[in-house]
Structure 1
Amino acid sequence: MLVAIVGVCASGKTTLVESLRSNGIEAYNVAQEHSCIKKFWQKRNPDFLIMIDATLETIKKRRKVTWDQGRLVVQHERLKDARENADLYIQTDSLSKEMVVQKVLDFIRRTNNVENNDRNA
C-alpha cells in the first residue's frame, strides 16, 4: 500500500509521513503546494491520497513564516485537484500530531476492511 500526503506548508506532512512509516505504511510527501502541475500527486500512483490543511494562524504558531494569506491562497489553488481527489481530508489546526496520525490509520484500516469484505462476499 502506498499513501501520498499533500497539504499546505507547515500543515504537518513530514511529521505524518514519518509517523505512518514508523507504523509500517509506505507513505511519502508530495510537494504539490509548490507545483503548478495539477495532477503532480498522481505521479507515483498512490493507493490513498490524504490531504492535510492548516490556517495561516496555526502555520505561524508551528513555524516562523514571513508570508501572508496570499501565499496560502496560491497553495490552496495548487492543491485544488488533490483536494477534490483526496480519499481523506483533515484540517489539522485543532489536532495534535498523534490525533492526525490516528485519523489516517483508522481510515486506512476501515477502508482495507471494507475492501477485504467486498472481496470475500
Structure 2
Amino acid sequence: MLTANLMAEKLPLIKVVGVSASGKSTLVEALRAAGWNARPVSQEHSDVPDLWKQFGFPRILIYLDNDLEGQRRRRPDVSWSAENLAREKQRLQHAYEHADLRINTAHFTAAQVRDLVIAFLEANHVRRSSTPLPPLPRTGGSGKA
C-alpha cells in the first residue's frame, strides 16, 4: 500500500500562485481534499521570477488574482495598498505569463473558484487520487476566500 506522500509524488504536480489574499491556500486545501497533488507557491513575496518552476516543474500552473477591494474584504486585518499589490503583480509576471489557468477571484467565493478549477482539471484529464491527500501547512491568512 502506498503512503499518502508516495501517492502524491506519483500524481501530476499542480502549483497555485497568486497575489496575497487571492485564495491560494484555500484552493490548495480543497484540491488536496479532492485527491489532486496541489501545492501553493508564495511567489508574491519573492524576487525570483521563476520560483514557481523550482522544487518540481508543475503539470498545471494556476494563477489566482485579486483586486485591492477583494484583498481588504478577505483580510481586513491587513493594511493593503495599491503599491504593494502592484509590486506583487510585478513579481508574479513570469508565472502569470506561463499559467495554464488564470482566475480573478475578487468576485468569486472559494467554492466557485474550486469548482472552476476542478472543471478545468477534469477537462484536461489531470489524474488524481481516489482518496484525499493530506493537508499542507497554510501559507497565508485567515482561510476565508
TM-score by length of structure 2 reads: 0.76
Counterpart residue identity of residue 51, structure 2: F
How many aligned residue pairs are there?
A: 113
Paired residue secondary structure (2:106) = coil
- 1:46 counterpart (58, 75, 99): 58
**For the aligned residues, what is the CA RMSD?**
1.0
Give the alignment partner of residue 3 of structure 1, picking from 4, 14, 21.
Answer: 14
Deviation of the 1:17 alpha carbon: 0.3
Higher helix share: 1
Unaligned residue ranges in structure 1 (runs of 5+): 114-121
Which one-letter code corresponds to 1:52 in the other structure?
A: L
5 Å-filtered alignment, 1:1-121, equals 1-43=12-54, 44-63=56-75, 64-112=77-125
Q: State the SS of the aligned residue for 2:95.
A: helix
User: Percent of counterpart pairs with the same letter?
Assistant: 40
For residues 24 and 65 of structure 1, the distance between their equivalents in structure 2, rounded to whole angstroms, comes to 32
Counterpart position of 1:116: none
Report the CA distance between 1:86 and its aligned residue. 0.1
- Using CA pairs under 8 Å that are at least 6 residues apart, name the structure with larger relative contact order, 1 or 2: 2
CA distance in 1, matches of 2:109, 2:85: 21
Instruction: Note the residue ranges of structure 2 that are not aligned, 5 or more in a row.
Output: 1-11, 127-145
Matches of 2:107 and 2:37, distance apart in 1: 26
- Counterpart-to-counterpart distance in 2, 1:67 and 1:52: 17
